[in-house]
Chains A and B, each alone.
Chain A
Amino acid sequence: MTAVVVTRAGTAGRVGLSAAGLLALLLAAAPYLVTSDITHTLVDLFVFVVIATMWNLLAGYGGLVSVGQQAYLGAGAYAVIALSVHGGINAFLAVPLAALAAGLLAVPLSFLAFRLHGGYFAIGTWVLAEVVKLVTAQIGPLGKGSGASLTTVSGYDPDIRVAYTYWLALAVAAGSVTAVYLLIRTRTGLQLTAIRDDGIAAEAAGVRVRRAKRLVYLIAGTGTGAAGAIVCLNTLTVQPESVFSVQWSAYMIFMVVVGGIGTIEGPIVGALLFFGLQQALSAQGPVYLIILGAVGVAVVLLAPRGLWGSTVGRTSISVFPVGHTLR
């Protein structure tokens, strides 16, 4: 039998991965180099990277178009309050636990949501998120409809607090991208892409479609929960109407679609663009929303595979190579 040689990454991939690692190290030094106003703002960017990466995993690889991921963002944010303010756990250490709590919430919700398909799944996830919000807003210790404050970090020097939050957010962002990248490189990841392309053909090829989708749903819930926990640390307050807002889903869809769905790089590009637009224009009020909409429409019309997918994604160059090349 002839030798079968399969390679996973070209030179471009190795350069890209090294560059990404270097960038993460550089970003880690930011609290020593720039003011805490800047790092405080950059936390938003990292949150965007996390939620876009997770939504892309869900929709771009799992084919699960959810409009209800704010359920997990809100759950993660509220879990920090519950664990830290009421449970006495250090607020920063509460972040991984809050992510886990959001992931646990995804287990029962997945059984409800997975009864639905396509457009019904999208609407169903939104309805579930509304239910989670309504239930949360009934809980007295969590401040009911008016929300709660993260009082347990008031002892920290503000600069130190922002720096810790920043590092945590950077770690969650780098960790999310790395985790999704590693997952997509595995056998399961390849199967996910197959499911996204054609679920029926995937089943016919022996892929456990349901199991793979549930795995993706649980990972996305956990990751989005971690983002919610960071949001809580960064804003120091949570309100049902803000952390459970469907606006988060709109952000996720915008970033992923504009950046390039079904690629690892796309959501990062989308998050950068969205963050930039928000920084430049959020003071403008309605004009900001109009420009966001215009950008979205323009990209969908001119570059249907998103900014990354329609440019670099068309070449064989990839920062995060996941393919298999048969030599």
Chain B
Amino acid sequence: MTTLVVDGLRRRFGPLLVADDISFRLDAGRALGVVGPNGAGKSTLLNLISGALRPEAGTVTLDGRDVTARSADERCRLGIGRTHQVPRPFTDLTVFENALVAAGAGGGLRRTAAYRAASAALDRTGLRKYANERAGRLPLLDRKRLELARALATGPSVLLLDEIGGGLTEPELRILIDTVIGLRGAGLAVIWIEHIVHALVEVVDELLCLATGRVIAHGEPSAVLGSREVREVYLGEELEEGIAG
């Protein structure tokens, strides 16, 4: 069973502390929602876990193996798949080839096995109909779907999602929620950063709220959303909307 353990992660950008002693553990088949105002350090946390950024202090452990010193590509091959908040498609490759790169590199698959994994990732994200289009021609929402497809094609045991639900219509969001629930049910550990709180609470087992790089609340979603610290941080904006929705 895969377990992700984050212990004492710390990272600064110049004088700005963007990750301040962040610790938590996440088991296979469980989903963690991450909320917090813009600039709180949510994406930074994902970057620290995926290896895109190195921490000044703290460790990331996957299945008991310390991966803090491992590169991002190595962590991906070890099972950490991620999406990017601002999509980064391989623009000259087709949608199918984008997923194929991930299946071949991150998933370590060849030929038919890779084709199958890439094709399944497209089916799962509703991109099958654009399989042979250049990824550079996709509109923003489909680029976000492609981020998810690529992450899935690597065959992850830990899936990191960074605001992939923004801009979706309610029916589209419904599909995404069901997809993530399915993935969690299949045994993936999922971390999902999202402002759309009503979507999160449907999926996640626990919620973590970040503000200025610090964990200000972590636990049962309803308890986190009800806590005074979290309400103060939001000053009644986005989160209220989410709860109301």
Q: Residues of A at under 8 Å CB distance from B?
A: 1, 4, 6, 187, 190-191, 193-194, 196-198, 200-209, 262, 323-326
Q: How far is the CB of A162 from chain B (nearest CB, A)?
A: 41
Segment at the interface with A among B84-92, B191-199, B218-226: B84-92
Residues of chain A within 8 A (CB-CB) of B102 are 205-206
Evaluate contact between B115 and A190: CB separation under 8 angstroms: no
Which B residues, 112 to 169, have Cβ-Cβ distances below 8 Å to chain A? 112, 114-116, 118-119, 122, 131-132, 150, 153-154
Q: Residues of B at under 8 Å CB distance from A?
A: 50-52, 71-73, 76-77, 82, 84, 88-94, 96-98, 100-102, 104-108, 110, 112, 114-116, 118-119, 122, 131-132, 150, 153-154
Additional A-B contact list (18), CB under 8 Å, known A4-B115, A187-B114: A4-B119, A193-B93, A193-B97, A194-B93, A197-B92, A197-B93, A200-B88, A202-B101, A202-B105, A203-B71, A204-B72, A204-B76, A205-B101, A205-B150, A207-B106, A325-B94, A325-B132, A326-B115
Show 19 residue pairs from A and B whose CB-CB distance is below 8 angstroms, ordered by the A residue.
A4-B116, A4-B119, A187-B114, A202-B73, A202-B105, A203-B51, A204-B50, A204-B72, A204-B73, A204-B76, A205-B76, A205-B106, A205-B153, A206-B105, A207-B106, A324-B100, A325-B132, A326-B115, A326-B131
Q: How far is the CA of A227 from the CA of B47 in the complex (A)?
A: 44
Evaluate contact between A191 and B101: CB separation under 8 angstroms: yes
Residues of chain A within 8 A (CB-CB) of B84 are 201, 204
Residues of chain B within 8 A (CB-CB) of A205 are 73, 76, 101-102, 105-106, 150, 153-154
Evaluate contact between B76 and A1: CB separation under 8 angstroms: no
Cβ-defined partner of A206 (8 Å) among B73, B100, B112: B73
Q: How far is the CA of A324 from the CA of B96 in the complex (A)?
A: 8
* A191 touching B105 in the complex, CB below 8 Å, given contacts A201-B88, A205-B150, A325-B132: yes
Residues of chain A within 8 A (CB-CB) of B76 are 203-206
Residues of chain A within 8 A (CB-CB) of B72 are 200, 203-204
* A198 touching B105 in the complex, CB below 8 Å, given contacts A4-B119, A205-B154, A324-B100: no
Residues of chain A within 8 A (CB-CB) of B132 are 325-326
Residues of chain A within 8 A (CB-CB) of B105 are 187, 191, 202, 205-208
Q: How far is the CA of A47 from the CA of B112 in the complex (A)?
A: 38
Residues of chain B within 8 A (CB-CB) of A194 are 90, 93, 98, 101
Q: How far is the CB of A305 from chain B (nearest CB, A)?
A: 10
Evaluate contact between B89 and A201: CB separation under 8 angstroms: yes
Evaluate contact between B88 and A190: CB separation under 8 angstroms: no
Q: How far is the CB of B84 from chain A (nearest CB, A)?
A: 7
Evaluate contact between B154 and A206: CB separation under 8 angstroms: yes
